[in-house]
């Protein structure tokens, strides 16, 4: 049941992600900044679509000028070549017609580099890494395994606490893409406090214009407790212990039929 629901959800996520692609603004940014070695390297990598060089440039602290127009709906605009390089990796990873690019980024060591950026205190570097990893995690098992092995889960859970809705959603979706692969990953997510964050997403604010966040959280919880064949008792208990039941019962009464139906279905799966 969970997988069937989230199959459509994944399609919607990929479409939304594609719409949020940064587009052709990257190279234009460079003309506003001081020309340094890393700028030249970025320019050359851009012309040659050199993924390995973009991965190496993610560590660059060379500053660039800001554009007046925002590049992304929620992520901070790049202020350094490093963040700009991570942004370019996100664009490569978002290209559905070229899925091999995701593998090339992993093979060039990009997963480890991007996970390292999640720990950055600079928002532009952190945000660009989240966007890139969210794309890289879609329909790519090896990338998700590499993210887990690189220690991404704690950073993703931390990102789920962000004040920025897009950041929270991207981190939750990426974590979900990882933990559905193995119960070991589910346990790491649960132990790190991830379930509590997903359950927190079930709350609807009085001024909310939609219940997209709540619906997404339900789908993620469905995939956490098991697949269409069976529920895992330890994760069912974890979701219940986090206080999901009363929140789901409240959502059952919501005027939006999709969220009401989804809440009802999850309650059935959580029943003793």
So where are the chain's domains?
Answer: 2-182, 193-272
Q: What is the DSSP string of 189-247?
A: HHHTTHHHHHHHTT---TT-S--HHHHHHHHHHHHHHB-SS-B-HHHHHHHHHTTHHHH
What per-residue confidence (pLDDT) applies to 33?
Answer: 47
Walk along the chain (272 residues) in steps of 10 and give the mean pLDDT of each run: 41 45 49 67 96 98 83 91 96 96 99 98 96 98 99 99 95 98 98 98 87 96 88 96 98 94 96 81
pLDDT at 8: 42
pLDDT of 35? 52
Supply the angle between the helices 81-93 and 123-136 in degrees, to the nearest 10: 20
Q: What is the CATH number of domain 2-182?
A: 1.25.10.10
pLDDT at residue 12, as a whole number: 46
Taking the model in full, what pTM does it have? Answer: 0.88
Model pLDDT, residue 32: 43
Residue 227: its pLDDT value, please? 79
Model pLDDT, residue 188: 98
3-state helix, strand, coil in the chain (%, to 5): 65, 0, 30
pLDDT value, residue 23: 47
Contacts of 250 by beta carbon, 8 Å cutoff, 6+ apart:
none
147-165, pLDDT tens digit by residue? Answer: 999 999 999 999 999 999 9
């Amino acid at each position: 049941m969970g997988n069937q629901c989230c199959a459509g959800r994944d399609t919607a996520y990929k479409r939304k992600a594609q719409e949020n692609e940064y587009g052709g603004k990257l190279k234009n940014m460079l003309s506003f900044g001081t020309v340094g070695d890393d700028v030249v390297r970025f320019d050359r990598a851009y012309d040659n679509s050199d993924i390995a060089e973009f991965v190496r440039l993610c560590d660059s602290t060379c500053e660039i000028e800001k554009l007046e127009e925002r590049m992304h709906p929620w992520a901070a605009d790049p202020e350094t070549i490093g963040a700009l390089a991570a942004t370019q990796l996100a664009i490569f990873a978002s290209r559905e017609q070229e899925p091999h690019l995701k593998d090339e980024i992993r093979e060039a060591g990009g997963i480890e580099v991007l996970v390292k950026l999640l720990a950055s205190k600079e928002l532009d570097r952190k945000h660009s890494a989240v966007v890139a990893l969210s794309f890289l995690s879609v329909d790519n098992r090896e990338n998700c395994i590499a993210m887990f092995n690189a220690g991404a889960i704690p950073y993703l859970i931390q990102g789920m606490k962000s004040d920025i809705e897009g950041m929270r959603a991207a981190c939750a979706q990426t974590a979900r893409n990882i933990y559905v692969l193995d119960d070991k990953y589910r346990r790491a997510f649960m132990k790190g406090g991830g379930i509590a964050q997903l359950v927190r997403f079930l709350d609807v604010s009085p001024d909310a214009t939609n219940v997209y966040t709540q619906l997404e959280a339900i789908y993620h919880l469905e995939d956490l407790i098991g697949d269409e064949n069976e529920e895992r008792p330890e994760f069912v208990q974890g979701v219940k212990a986090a206080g999901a039941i009363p929140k789901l019962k409240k959502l059952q009464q919501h005027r939006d039929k999709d969220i009401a139906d989804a809440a009802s279905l999850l309650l059935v799966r959580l029943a003793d």
